[in-house]
Each structure stands twice: as structure tokens, then as C-alpha cells.
A = this chain, B = another copy of it.
């Protein structure tokens, strides 16, 4: 937790104190007590969810909560100019993938179905809204960011690609990561991009064709076949090395 993310409900009524004051409890409190071991007067790095980043000075601490005097003064890092279309990872990888994508600055993420996504993956309890939100928060805390990603689930490949994707990808460069192609993934693209990444084993040819029909260009990452969890940071770093 490199950043303590505050939500509006953490703040005391603005009328009560001239300077904003917030109290953290639960998981964040435990972390500050056990890892930071912050004392009264110490400053912690804090950010307001979907807002600015700054410091929180410890005013009071006990087992029930830590009360912080909040001063926010800088914007969060800029979002990647990217919409990520990702075949739903298996449950074991789902949490980690969401955390990594969020830490890397992805702000729009569609988890979609694909032939090689097992039906059972869609039953994962980790797909519940509050669980996904928690993984996004962990990614933001890690990366020192406050901007919550938008995350959407789409359980049917064809209607998504045919009916929704053209509007989602409008006015953007459209790429699909696909090991079996001759075109290398571009470097430092500096343009709004929509990137589709398949499941382990890749999109099947039919799916790649459907994506091509709506303007997606298959690109590869070199001779090595990477797991999705490795391919994702490699792709994003390659497309947006300076972000």
C-alpha cells in the first residue's frame, strides 16, 4: 500500500473542521498500524478516490481508527490512452490481472468471453462487483493512483464484437495481440488505442477474423510466447513507454 485511498465517507462533515479531516478504519487502518506504524504527527501519503494526491498528518490514532488532517495538492498520474479488451482469465489469475492492469494505468477494461475461456470461469466469486472493485483499489494503492478503472463484463463474444466494439474502438488504433502473425506490435504509439488480448492459448482464428472485420490488426510480440500476465505489461510498456 504505497497510497492510502480515501473515500468521501471517510471525511468528517466539512462544517466541523476548517481543514479536511478523515478517519480510516478496517484494512487501511490495519496496514497503517502494522506496516507504517505511524505515530501522531507523522505524515502518510494519501489520495482521494478519483481525486488528488497529497499528505495526511496523523492527529489521533487508536485501535478503532486513525484520524488524519488531509492536504491534497497534486493530480494522479495520467491514464493510459487505452481501452483494454481482455478474455476473462482463469479465476486464479483474475485478481492478479486486474491488479496489474490497474497498476499499469488501464482505466477502461472489458472482460469478455472467448472460445478458450472455460464456462466455469464466469461463475467465479471474484467477479462480484465488490471483489473486482477491491482488486482495482489494491492496484491503485500499489501504483500511487486514485482514478478508479471502469470495468465491464461481457459474456458473449459475437454480440460484443459486432454490436458494441465498433463504438468502443471508434477513432482509436485497434490491435489484437496474436502470436501467429507477421506484424510486430508497434512501439511508442502515442495514440488512443483499443487493445484486445486473448486467453491462454490465444483467440481462435474465427475470433481473430471477427476482430479484423471491425478493424483490428493482429500484432505479435516477437518469437517468444508469453503468458497473459507477462504479455500485458510487455504490450502496455511497448505501446506507451513514456506514460
Contact = CB atoms under 8 A, between A and B. Distances in A.
Interface of A: 2, 77, 100, 103-105, 142-145, 184, 187-188, 222-227, 229-230, 233-238, 241-243
A224 B104 contact: yes
A184 B240 CA distance: 13
Contacts of A187: 187-188, 241-242
A227 B142 CA distance: 7
User: Main secondary structure on chain A at its contact with chain B?
Assistant: loop
B144 A226 contact: no
Contacts of A224: 77, 103-105, 143-145
A226 B101 CA distance: 11
A188 B230 CA distance: 19
Nearest to A222: B243
B142 A225 contact: yes
11 contacts: A77-B223, A100-B227, A104-B230, A142-B226, A142-B227, A143-B224, A144-B225, A222-B243, A233-B234, A233-B237, A234-B237
B226 A104 contact: yes
A234 B103 CA distance: 12
A104 B242 CA distance: 21
A225 B104 contact: no
A208 B188 CA distance: 29
A235 B241 CA distance: 9
A97 to B, nearest CB: 11
A132 B209 CA distance: 40
A241 B223 CA distance: 12
A15 to B, nearest CB: 34
A186 to B, nearest CB: 9
Contacts of A235: 237
Given A103-B227, A104-B230, 19 more contacts: A100-B227, A103-B226, A103-B230, A104-B226, A104-B234, A143-B224, A144-B223, A144-B224, A144-B225, A184-B242, A187-B187, A187-B188, A222-B243, A230-B233, A233-B234, A234-B234, A234-B236, A234-B237, A235-B237
